[in-house]
Structure 1
Amino acid sequence: MSELDSKRLESIRKFWEAFRSCVEEQRVSPDRSHYYVKWAQAFVRFAPGKRLRERTGKDIEAFLTDLGKRPGTGDWQVKQAEHALKILYEVFLPEYAPVNSYEDIQKAHVRKKVVPRTREDVFRDQAIPGEVERLFAPLISAMKTEIRSRHYSIRTESSYVDWVRRFIAFHDYTDLKKLDATKAVREYLEYLAVERAVAASTQNQALNALVFLYTNVLNKPFGDLETFVRAKRPQRLPEVMTREEVQVLFDHMKGVTLLMAGLMYGGGLRLMECVRLRVMDLDFGRRQIMVRDGKGQKDRVTMLPERFSVVLKEHLARVRTVYDDDRTRGVPGVYMWPALARKYPKGALEWKWQYVFPAKSLSVDPRSAIVRRHHINENLVQKAVKEAAGRAGINKRVSCHTLRHSFATHLLEARYDIRTVQELLGHADVSTTMIYTHVLNRPGLSVMSPADF
């Protein structure tokens, strides 16, 4: 094999490794991400000799239709393949978005109205992968710029942009400036509520995204938002475990996920607050954890449970080994907010800025396209907690956030002041913390059932 062939194969290998990392960043679990790579590779083989940049939406539709006709291929596999191509074109390689003219899209939708679709399970707001990026590239770019200028999280950006894609697809890729904004948004929200039967929180999230689009990107604010009736979210009490159940849960966990679960319970951390912890956030001397840029972009201090201090120090020693190896290999530094990166140009390479729970492999930064070591995938922790609850036989809906609920409830059970608990949880309003008194059935004083008098 020639040196040129070797370099080409190595380049291809790195390409698919980077794509798999990108897939996992889109909240696809690592045990499924390799299937996404296989679907993308199958699409590459489907039209040999035709480069990705030369492929159109028709090529994608033809591939998915052909895939659905193959013996032994289920509908869920076709959906998974479509999701893989969506990530490939809309996230990983936006510059290779399929090339279609606006006229082609309109003709395609006219045909769909006359001829029944071969894939009847497709929702009206499900966009063909890459089409919105190609037809509305300036709009999507402006949307991302406005979101980032406000320092919204990458998750908010992904969510808002996806709602805009769905909204555009729902209206047959029509130029948004030609639509009656109020009428178009109302039609879409009614579709979500009636046909899709989405949850109230989902409908409200879609409305928030579209309000942001019209107000900050298109500069066409709705005016009176009272014309849109926000779905009322149901008032539900949080799921809480007993102390015994928490211990049984921990008994069925091990390794890094056990340590993270311990910090979430012992310090009342949200999942992403735990995942994004930096070395400098831990103060072993004062047994404190500094939670930076939490929900609502607020900082707070909570306790570092002494029970996990020794294990955490041992974990950091192992992380330091990985960090030293990355520095030797010249791996780019950890992600920092752009303003911080400018203020501390070498900060990304310093130990104190590193993630406490780094990922095992390198991945592509979705915003800068730099290959670096990010934090651990939160799906791994969620899956570990859920599986441990199943093995422990806990008959409750246990998630990572259940640990935070249990933290607050157990502190109140121990008669700690509700204002103190509020500060530890980072709640802006004490009324949010008061919900845990309802879990205890103690809205003020301890209440005993008359059956127990």
Structure 2
Amino acid sequence: MASFRKADCAASAVPVQQPRLLDQVRQRVRRLGLARRTEEAYVGWVRRFILANGKRHPAEMGAPEIERFLTDLAVEVGVSASTQNQALSALLFLYKQVLGVELPWLDGIERAKKPQRLPVVLTRAEVVALLGQLTGTPWLMASLLYGAGLRLMECVRLRVKDVDFGKAELVVRQGKGGKDRRTMLPSTLIAPLQAQMDEARRIHQRDLDAGFGRVWLPDALARKYPQANAEWGWQYIFPASVRSHDPRDGRERRHHLDESRLQRAVKQARLRAGLAKPATCHTLRHSFATHLLEDGYDLRTIQELLGHADVSTTQIYTHVLNRGGRGVVSPLDRG
């Protein structure tokens, strides 16, 4: 009995090795249910911050090192204000959520001010010209960006259960800020979308027959409904062409289509259409909002369709129209 207690004490004396700092960041991000892209961005910025300071542990550093790091990003590297703010968010997450540091200087660090720029917007004729240069899946996805006002990642992450053909609407899950919302499904896209879903279903059935067919689900849902990831309703409408290993758990799954495929297709379509404007996938969303405003829809309705937290964000499109809500006409045009 004594020997057992001695061995037990010896075992308990062995120190438990703490995960590496970057692994702690990953674990905390996942524990809070943040997006995988947020995890990648935060881990990348924390690693960059550590390397920029001679591999010192962040617990040994503070406000001066963070300020210097952000200043170097702005002055030496020349990154944008949004990139500086992303780096700051990552470091604040590190200190508050991972290291548990609650110090006054954390909230005292100012964020870089973003320049107020008008979004690029295509005319209706330019949208027609751009979409006319696309075919197949890229055409359908780009049409959804414009026709439903979706963000790029909202489109590629659409799942079967999020489409209601009867009501002609889409449900956007976990949009920006983690919010859900509803938006319209253009009637002209119902038949093409149904055809795309038929193809996705054939792919899903082949995966099931091969012993796969389980899609990624948020952690809480995966635990609560362990069989749901194989159900048809949870599958991506735009599946990837091949299965891949999930970086989070190593399991082989079929993820959604890589968004870079649509980005490249839209860029090539813009060049073929001869458009001078630097149009991107997000330009189609801006054009959606602006054209609705031109058609007389109120800002509140457009705000809900876009999923903006504040109507002031939506008001930027009144400036795009150069109306400011007043329909101002230049005195030169009055004759």
Indicate the residue corresponding to 1:171 in structure 2: 53
| Partner amino acid, structure 2, of 1:155 | R
The equivalences for 1:378-389 within 5 A come to 378-389=259-270
Q: Is the 8 A contact 1:264 1:274 kept in 2?
A: yes
Indicate the residue corresponding to 2:9 in structure 1: none
Q: Is the 8 A contact 1:267 1:304 kept in 2?
A: yes
Indicate the residue corresponding to 2:118 in structure 1: 237
How many residue pairs match? The answer is 317
| Partner amino acid, structure 2, of 1:370 | R
Indicate the residue corresponding to 2:39 in structure 1: 157
CA–CA separation in structure 1 for the residues paired with 2:126 and 2:34: 36
SS in 1 for 2:176: coil
Q: Is the 8 A contact 1:211 1:222 kept in 2?
A: no
**Of residues 41, 47, 72 in structure 2, which corresponds to 1:191?**
72
1:378-405: per-residue Cα shift (whole Å, max 9, x none)?
0000110111011001110111100000
Q: Is the 8 A contact 2:239 2:254 kept in 1?
A: yes
Q: Is the 8 A contact 1:332 1:371 kept in 2?
A: no
Give the superposition deviation at 1:227. Answer: 4.1
| Partner amino acid, structure 1, of 2:309 | A
Change (3 A) 1:139 1:225: closer
Indicate the residue corresponding to 2:92 in structure 1: 211
Give the superposition deviation at 1:154. Answer: 0.5
Does residue 1:288 correspond to 2:145, yes or no? no
RMSD, aligned CA: 1.3
CA–CA separation in structure 1 for the residues paired with 2:108 and 2:179: 32
Give the superposition deviation at 1:224. Answer: 3.3
Give the superposition deviation at 1:137. Answer: 5.0
Give the superposition deviation at 1:219. Answer: 1.7
| Partner amino acid, structure 2, of 1:140 | L
1:59-104: per-residue Cα shift (whole Å, max 9, x none)?
xxxxxxxxxxxxxxxxxxxxxxxxxxxxxxxxxxxxxxxxxxxxxx
Point out which structure has higher relative CO (alpha carbons under 8 A, 6+ apart). Answer: 2
| Partner amino acid, structure 2, of 1:415 | G
SS in 2 for 1:324: helix
CA–CA separation in structure 2 for the residues paired with 1:193 and 1:226: 20
State TM-score, norm by structure 1. Answer: 0.68
Q: Is the 8 A contact 1:182 1:222 kept in 2?
A: no
Indicate the residue corresponding to 2:200 in structure 1: 319
SS in 1 for 2:20: helix
CA–CA separation in structure 2 for the residues paired with 1:177 and 1:299: 37
Indicate the residue corresponding to 2:20 in structure 1: 138
**Of residues 383, 387, 406 in structure 1, which corresponds to 2:287?**
406
Indicate the residue corresponding to 1:61 in structure 2: none
Give the superposition deviation at 1:214. Answer: 1.0
Indicate the residue corresponding to 2:191 in structure 1: 310
Identity among equivalent pairs (%): 52
Indicate the residue corresponding to 1:148 in structure 2: 30
CA–CA separation in structure 1 for the residues paired with 2:21 and 2:100: 12
The equivalences for 1:278-427 within 5 A come to 278-427=159-308
| Partner amino acid, structure 1, of 2:60 | K
Give the superposition deviation at 1:199. Answer: 1.1
CA–CA separation in structure 2 for the residues paired with 1:366 and 1:235: 37
Indicate the residue corresponding to 2:13 in structure 1: none
Does residue 1:435 correspond to 2:324, yes or no? no
Give the superposition deviation at 1:149. Answer: 1.5
Q: Is the 8 A contact 2:205 2:213 kept in 1?
A: no
| Partner amino acid, structure 1, of 2:153 | M
**Of residues 105, 110, 129 in structure 2, which corresponds to 1:224?**
105
1:109-136: per-residue Cα shift (whole Å, max 9, x none)?
xxxxxxxxxxxxxxxxxxxxxxxxxxx9
| Structure 1 residue runs without a partner (length 5+) | 1-135
Give the superposition deviation at 1:434. Answer: 0.5
| Partner amino acid, structure 1, of 2:121 | V
